[in-house]
Amino acid sequence: MSIGIVLAGLGQIGMGYDRALDPARFVTTHARAFSQHPEFHLEAGVDLNPDLRREFEATYGCASYPDIESACAVHAADVAVVALPTEFHAEALERILRCAQPRAILCENPLAYAGEGAKRMVGSCAKNGVNLYVNYMRRADPSVIEVKRRINVGLIQTPVKGRVWYTKGWLHNGSHFFNLLEYWLGPLMEFKVLKKQHVEDESFADLDVWVAFERGEITFLAASAEAFSHSEIELISPSGRLRYGSETDHVNWQVLEPDERFKNYTSLSREVEKISMTRERYQLQVADQLALSLKGQASQLCTGADALKTLVSMRKVLESTI
């Protein structure tokens, strides 16, 4: 029996990003992912915008509603997806819990802007026996999972040193990479803010920050999103170099080898191992991991508790500059 999905929010991540793209190649929205996945059934969409609702109905053949209560009164919300702007996450989650009994809620990131709001969301789900996950989709990518495996078994030795380029705000896009580095390297131990670009909305502040995680030191650098969008991680390990970026379809890993020119020196191998990424279908991979979780199997999804730790750490960094 398939698992029913009610999708709250039919904007870009809900339905828009892959709207004009080949469905056989691109799965970058919740609507397309859950409509394609064999273990889920897209039951209904929710959005205040009637134009988006009409487009959703025409594209996916599903009913749509202007509010969560109307959708849950008619359809089985085994899983509720919250794909609304961050400021509406907490309200939507509470409304879902009042009118439905989902097995899980998948919420967009960041979970909230403030730690107290995120704590209430995590607590409400725990009180109601609902598994809460946050859509840090990179953690569902097989290449990212493989990097974690290699770190855990020592093929990628620690401590590492590295850098991250990110755009579009410390709490927004920056949180993707902070959460990913926590997944690979463990919790934040200490930090130092190097530079802050002051903006009216602190949620979109750009920070350059040195962060010591449990298994390595990373410098986060904010690039100007006005020029172009860019994200990249480079890790220097005692056993090699790893590069993970937004412009390629693989993770690059180079091991060490004896330098052919200088005796007793080592250098990075010219042979680059390419660990395949499936960036064009990332949201389908999230659905894969969610299906594993609902069957009681190990899942790499970011839990609400994990996302809360990310938010608390990132807000601690941000608030040190205010």
Identify the pLDDT of residue 225.
Answer: 62
Encode pLDDT of 256-296 as tens digits.
988 777 777 888 999 999 998 888 999 999 999 999 999 99
For residue 249, is pLDDT > 90? no
Who wins on pLDDT, 258 or 196? 196
- The parent domain of residue 50 ranges over 3-137+284-303
Q: Do 8 and 126 belong together in one domain?
A: yes
Q: Hey, what's the torsion of the CAs at 253, 256, 261, 264, to 10 degrees?
A: 170
pLDDT tier at 107, thresholds 50, 70, 90 = very high
In-domain check, residue 154: yes
Encoding tokens for residue 176? 């993707």
Distances (CA, A) of 12 to 18, 22, 30, 153, 302: 8, 16, 9, 38, 21
Who wins on pLDDT, 226 or 121? 121
Q: Do 266 and 292 belong together in one domain?
A: no
Identify the pLDDT of residue 273.
Answer: 95
The dihedral of CA 90, 208, 165, 252: what is its sign? Answer: negative
Strand partners, 132: 105
Q: Hey, what's the torsion of the CAs at 83, 86, 87, 90, to 10 degrees?
A: 70
Identify the pLDDT of residue 186.
Answer: 98
Q: Do 131 and 235 belong together in one domain?
A: no
Q: Do 164 and 38 belong together in one domain?
A: no
- Please give the share of the chain, as a percent, with pLDDT higher than 70: 97
Q: Do 177 and 294 belong together in one domain?
A: no
End-to-end CA separation in angstroms for the chain: 51
Q: Do 164 and 255 belong together in one domain?
A: yes
Q: Do 253 and 206 belong together in one domain?
A: yes
- Averaged over 85-98, what is the pLDDT? 97
- Averaged over 16-26, what is the pLDDT? 96
Q: What is the largest CA-CA distance in the chain?
A: 74
Q: Hey, what's the torsion of the CAs at 62, 67, 70, 76, to 10 degrees?
A: 60
Pick from 258, 284, 280, 282: nearest CA to 269:
258
Q: Do 273 and 293 belong together in one domain?
A: no
Identify the pLDDT of residue 227.
Answer: 64
Identify whether the C-beta of residue 149 lies closer than 8 Å to the C-beta of residue 185.
no
Strand partners, 237: 240
For residue 226, is pLDDT > 70? no
Encode pLDDT of 294-310 as tens digits.
999 999 999 999 999 99
- Averaged over 4-17, what is the pLDDT? 98
What is the domain count for the chain?
2
Q: Do 162 and 98 belong together in one domain?
A: no
For 175-293, list the strands marked E by DSSP.
188-197, 206-213, 216-222, 232-237, 240-245, 250-258, 266-268, 273-276
Mean pLDDT, all residues of the chain: 94
In-domain check, residue 239: yes
Q: Do 131 and 146 belong together in one domain?
A: no
Out of 105-109, 199-203, 317-321, which region has the weakest mean confidence (pLDDT)?
199-203
What CATH number does the domain containing 42 carry?
3.40.50.720
- Averaged over 162-180, what is the pLDDT? 93
Could you give the CA distance from residue 309 to residue 316 in angstroms, rounded to a whole number?
11
Could you give the CA distance from residue 322 to residue 51 in angstroms, rounded to a whole number?
41
Strand partners, 209: 193, 220
Q: Do 152 and 110 belong together in one domain?
A: no
